[in-house]
Amino acid sequence: MQFTAAQIAELLHGEVDGDPQVLVNDLAKIEEARDGTLTFLANPKYTEFIYTTRATIAIVAKDFHPARPTPKSLTLIRVADPRMAFTQLLERNYQLQYEKKGVEQPSFVSPKAKLGKNVYIGAFCYVGDGVVLGDGVKVFPNCFIGDNTRIGDGARIHAGVKIYHQSEIGARCVIHSGAVIGADGFGFVPDSEGVYEKMPQVGNVVLEEDVEVGANSTIDRATIGSTVIRKGTKLDNLVQVGHNAEVGMHNVIVAQAGIAGSTVVGDHNQIGGQVGIAGHLTVGSRVRIAAQSGIGSDIGDGRTVQGSPAFDKGPYDRSYVVFRKLPELQKRIDQLEKELAALRQRTGLDS
């Protein structure tokens, strides 16, 4: 889409310095801008680029006074805060990418499904019986939405997501490509001969509002009951949440972390990349777990832990200092043992 300088200035409550009818259709960094793009100048260290930029429009501060002429083709929009103004445009541009409506073909939408207002369903999607999509839900191409799944208002399901039956996705959730919601939990029981029999997984997955799930992450359905991710929690790419786990509110869980079945995680935690949390544990609230840590026991509120098995970060750091010196310490011990053996021999203690 194209916008004039006048339209952008009106949106940002700015003033046009130049041609109000000039058009732009993209955003760019000031040093990489080209004809037809809009850029901004907020950091003084980039001021030099304003005199050579190929951008069509630049957002600048109201009190910006060029030290020398800017390009004749450049129109300025003067605002109170250029960085905040550009952020507003980024947000608006981001929203425009998802302002699609209607059902593309070929797709299958069950006649028993209920679609809210302004729903978008991309090509090659499957929407099963009893599915309820709230107002403004966007389901991008090649998605599977299983029977009796409910997706709240404003949720966005990116291309290639698979959501199994009876899942509940809250308002404004975002699920990125390749994620699988509601696959069977890893439940197998050995018989008397050690042969593993599958335990049916008949529960579901519940994502509360404003949850974000990264690409290729997986959240398993519960054996009985629900696997729950509470409101505002953000999962990075390649995160695994096991069956019957409960993850609290406003957590951030970084890539390749895994939470085993039936573990309960509190609120406002920071869980680093490649962390492994064993099953049937309790992790409190406002806990920080450093990357690659292994959690094999409960963690109380407010702790910061690291290592595998993990323990408090202060002692871990001190222990790691010693660990790095182990080769040197080993040499010193070997030398002391030689000197002690020689001393014992000289003093006759070995006879």
Q: Read off the pLDDT of residues 96-119 as tens digits, 9 standing for 90 and up.
A: 778 889 999 999 999 999 999 999
Parallel/antiparallel/unpaired status of strands 126-127 and 108-109: parallel
- Catalytic position from the list 158, 176, 243, 268: 243
- Average pLDDT rounded to a whole number, residues 70-79: 96
Q: How large a percentage of the chain has pLDDT more than 90? A: 83
**Residue 19 pLDDT:** 96
**Residue 261 pLDDT:** 95
CA distance from start to end of the chain? 96
Q: Is the pLDDT of residue 229 over 90?
A: yes
Q: Are 60 and 205 contained in the same domain?
A: no
Q: Is 335 exposed, middle or buried (0-12, 13-18, 19+ CB in 10 A)?
A: exposed
Identify the band that residue 349 occupies on the pLDDT scale cut at 50, 70 and 90.
low
Domain count, the chain: 3
**Phi, psi (degrees; rounded to nearest 5) at 343:** -65, -45
Q: Are 241 and 169 contained in the same domain?
A: yes
Which of 40, 71, 96 finishes a domain?
A: 96
What percent of the residues of the chain are helix, what percent strand, and what percent coil, each to the nearest 5? 20, 30, 50
Q: Are 82 and 133 contained in the same domain?
A: no
Annotation says 243 is catalytic: yes
**Residue 320 pLDDT:** 77
Q: Read off the pLDDT of residues 338-348 as tens digits, 9 standing for 90 and up.
A: 888 888 888 87
- Average pLDDT rounded to a whole number, residues 37-51: 95
Q: Is the pLDDT of residue 329 over 90?
A: no
Residue range of the domain that includes 193: 103-314
Q: Are 34 and 83 contained in the same domain?
A: yes
- Average pLDDT rounded to a whole number, residues 306-312: 80
**Residue 351 pLDDT:** 58
Q: Are 240 and 127 contained in the same domain?
A: yes
DSSP state of 44: G
Q: Read off the pLDDT of residues 169-226 as tens digits, 9 standing for 90 and up.
A: 999 999 999 999 999 999 999 999 999 999 999 999 999 999 999 999 999 999 999 9
Q: What is the largest CA-CA distance in the chain?
A: 104
Q: Is the pLDDT of residue 311 over 80?
A: no
Which H or E run includes 219? strand 218-220
Identify the band that residue 43 occupies on the pLDDT scale cut at 50, 70 and 90.
very high
Q: Is 94 exposed, middle or buried (0-12, 13-18, 19+ CB in 10 A)?
A: exposed
For the sheet containing 288-289, what is the strand order?
102-103, 120-121, 138-139, 156-157, 174-175, 212-213, 234-235, 252-253, 270-271, 288-289, 304-307, 310-312
| CATH number, domain containing residue 64 | 3.40.1390.10
Q: Are 158 and 264 contained in the same domain?
A: yes
Q: Are 206 and 255 contained in the same domain?
A: yes
Q: Are 70 and 88 contained in the same domain?
A: yes
Q: Which of 49-53, 93-97, 233-237, 271-275 has the lowest mean pLDDT?
A: 93-97
Residue 58 to residue 48: CA distance in whole angstroms: 13
Q: Are 304 and 323 contained in the same domain?
A: no
Q: Are 184 and 276 contained in the same domain?
A: yes
